[in-house]
Amino acid sequence: MQKQFLTANKRARGLGSAHSGSHHWLSQRISAVALVFLSLWFVLSLARTARWEFPDFMVFWGHPFNMILAQLTMLTALYHAVLGLQIVAEDYIHHHGWRFFWLLLIKFIAVLLASLWVYGGIFLTSWMVNGL
């Protein structure tokens, strides 16, 4: 039989543990470690191509390998930001309606930005491959 570590008030209101804190914490740490390496590659690539002529710049960033790494960098950064903003909203917005609104807005903006970023990458890569 498991012991319940809830106060009588929390048991009555049904406000026990959500059992998702460790997954959220681990996801944030993994995305942070991935961002260290991806951001390093991204910044070095931008520094390397900063003085290139436009056609050479587009060929470099239109290459599928470079575009995939750029996509991973931006999507990982966006995911990491959403995790952080979700924690801020859950911890500091106490009104349930406003918390729900802000969490929904954060997720909506994240999906919108991710969709635009992926569409732009696919468009650039297909433009470079097909020469449109």
4 domain residue, yes or no: no
7 domain residue, yes or no: no
From first to last of its 132 residues, the chain has per-residue pLDDT tens of: 555 666 666 666 655 556 667 888 999 999 999 999 999 999 999 999 999 998 888 889 888 899 999 999 999 999 999 999 999 999 999 999 999 999 999 999 999 999 999 998 888 888 777 765
CB 70 within 8 A of CB 46: no
66 domain residue, yes or no: yes
pLDDT for position 71:
95
pLDDT for position 96:
94
Residue 38: which domain range? 19-130
pLDDT for position 32:
97
Write down the pTM of the prediction.
0.79
CB 67 within 8 A of CB 61: yes
5 domain residue, yes or no: no
1 domain residue, yes or no: no
11 domain residue, yes or no: no
**What is the C-alpha to C-alpha distance for residues 70 and 59, in angstroms, rounded to an integer?**
14
pLDDT for position 16:
54
**Which residue, 2, 118, 125, 106, is CA-closest to 64?**
125
pLDDT for position 124:
82
3 domain residue, yes or no: no
How many structural domains comprise the chain?
1
pLDDT for position 3:
58
CATH classification at residue 40:
1.20.1300.10
34 domain residue, yes or no: yes
